[in-house]
Amino acid sequence: MLPIMLDLATLKALYADRTVTPRDVMEAVIERRAAWLDKAVFITPTSDADLRAAAEALMTQHPEPNSLPLWGIPFAVKDNIDVAGLPTTAACPAFAYHPAADATVVARLRAAGAIVIGKTNLDQFATGLNGTRSPYGAPRSVFDADYVSGGSSSGSAVAVAAGFAAFSLGTDTAGSGRVPAMFNNLVGIKPTPGLLPNTGVVPACRSVDCVTIFAATVGDGVAIRQVAEGFDAADPFSRRARWAGLPVDNLRVGVLDGAEREFFGNAEVERLYDAAITNIRALGATTVPFDYAPFREAAALLYEGPWVAERLAAVEEFFASNEADFDPTVRAIIGGAKGKTAVEAFKGKYRLEELRRITEAEWTKADVLLLPTSPTTYTVEAMRADPIRLNSHFGRYTNFVNLLDCAAFAVPAGCDSADHLPAGVTLVAPAFTDNALAPLADALHRQGARGMGRDKAASLPEASKVLPAASDMVPIVVVGAHLTGMPLNRELTGPGGRMLKACRTAANYRLFALPGTVPPKPGMLQEPGFAGSGLAVEVWELPAAAFGQFVARIPAPLGIGKVTLDDGSQVSGFLCEAHALAGAEDITHHGGWRAYLASRV
């Protein structure tokens, strides 16, 4: 009944037709986990009983299919990200603890209706790109168990590619959200640093760590990212988005020239990289050579320079008392930071800024870079025999991205000539180009795709296609009866509207239940000086012509004004006249209209 890959578009369609329920999906997850031979994927799977209970609770509290953005969608979480009720180990049993609360990103995804199916394996303390550095075993490529799955987010990638989860969370410091995507034929979304908060995440290099998303398609990954993103004051490295665009016409894509090409003898990956260059030209882009040398030198700083000391800073006290509990390779890398000095740290920072200035010249040549995700792959046996040198090969084209504050999409690029192992490429662009980069990444994926995950025969769903932003579309914030799955949502979808993201307002908004409205509606009011936690809202966009007609139909006391979101941006949205709220029930403490309605069931 269910396809091999549990992508969002397919699951939502099955839910909408009432062909399957979240209970059915959880039963499939349970069966698939039990049948999968590679038992190293999960460190702590959610129990069968808890999965069934979560599905039942969702269907009781939100009985209408797809009434939440991620209603009944199963997802897995890398085990350095907190999930309340499950231990966090960072792949080190002696380090394990039981978090009292979800990480911010997990909490947002669960609030949107997604169900956690377990905590996944990783290179210990997220130190590695290969997936073999864990006492819980080495997850393997879904295509050949002799080969590595990639790391450090090894189990997270396999959980999606094997068909257990529709998406998963990883983390990425040096490429951990991208390399496993290539090795398992997935999309890996590495957001601009700070776009997704790291509250509740065990740090590797705290100043450059990113929470990442593995998904079957770019469209799925973007939809998930938009639920999880948003400023979080509890994370000192969280940032408010300052969205940047890319040229619609005459897009210039930087590609590797002969001097900087290095595939470590893997002619098949090089061939597929060249095919991706041909494909991106077919999409209308102009390819231009650029000098990768300063990017490569910046990449080297992450492991060969003083940034390794930041890995020690993350676990300093635990390392001092429990050094013997570390994986030998991880212990050697983190322990190597003991000799680093503050002088070296400052010199490294200075050199990075010098390299950043040099790379600015390369960004004048190209709007986007197209790089191999990894230049090659290796067997588990080979990696264990030469763990540091071979691991460094995987990071040749990934390590610089966070240091230089970029966004990246890793997408599949096809399989080798034997139809055996996949390859992938990554599109990289400057900070906050995430939304602008997504349509290009999706189009490139569709040009070179070979199925999704382990299902090489699967077609990418049309419903997940990412369309370029339309210049005649107008964004609008909705808070009540126009939300996804609500009675008036058809007024948005009917004229061609589409949802951009689920998010929250700034803290100084109150919400009231308006009496006597049909269907029931809330009224939102901005109150200067009020310190709440923000309200759950959705941002949609409508064709400009339809927007005017939509606004004209809004009944008093509701109207359209500027709504400030939690990332500091302002978007036109629903507000209520203050006089109409006298005597109305204040429902602000519920945090949003959905939660209020659920409390009344």
Which residues partner with 83 through β-bridges? 86
* Residue 579: count of CB within 10 angstroms of its CB: 7
Of 372, 333, 311, 400, give the one whose Cα is nearest residue 133: 333
Task: Give the active site residue among 12, 78, 190, 501.
Answer: 78
- Going by their DSSP bridges, the two strands 498-504 and 509-513 should be labelled as unpaired
Annotation marks residue 78 as catalytic: yes
| DSSP-based three-state secondary structure for 127 | coil
Straight-line distance from the first to the last Cα atom of the chain, in angstroms, rounded to the nearest whole number: 31
Of 369, 329, 395, 336, give the one whose Cα is nearest residue 179: 395
- C-alpha angle 43-48-52 in degrees, rounded to nearest 5: 130
DSSP classification of residue 412: E
Sheet holding 473-478, edge to edge: 498-504, 536-543, 473-478, 570-576, 558-564
Question: For the purposes of burial, counting CB atoms within 10 Å of the CB of 523, is it exposed (0-12), middle (13-18) or buried (19 or more)?
Answer: buried
Annotation marks residue 149 as catalytic: no
Residue 212 tokens read as 């990442």
The number of residues making up the chain comes to 601
Task: Give the active site residue among 67, 149, 153, 176.
Answer: 176
Q: How far apart are CA 523 and CA 505, in angstroms?
A: 14
Question: For the purposes of burial, counting CB atoms within 10 Å of the CB of 447, is it exposed (0-12), middle (13-18) or buried (19 or more)?
Answer: middle
Task: Give the active site residue among 152, 153, 154, 238.
Answer: 152
Annotation marks residue 152 as catalytic: yes
Measured CA distances, 61 to 12, 104, 467, 529, 595 (Å): 18, 22, 33, 33, 9
Q: How far apart are CA 6 and CA 559, in angstroms?
A: 40
Whether 496 contacts 546, CB under 8 Å:
yes
> 176-208 burial, b if ≥16 CB within 10 A, otherwise e?
bbbbbbbbbbbbbbbbbbbbbbbbbbbbbbbeb
Q: How far apart are CA 179 and CA 470, in angstroms?
A: 32
Q: How far apart are CA 118 and CA 104, in angstroms?
A: 17
| DSSP-based three-state secondary structure for 444 | helix
The alpha-carbon radius of gyration of the chain (Å, integer) is: 24
Residue 332 tokens read as 């050697």
Of 432, 422, 413, 425, give the one whose Cα is nearest residue 370: 425
Q: How far apart are CA 182 and CA 165, in angstroms?
A: 17
Active site residues: 78, 152, 176
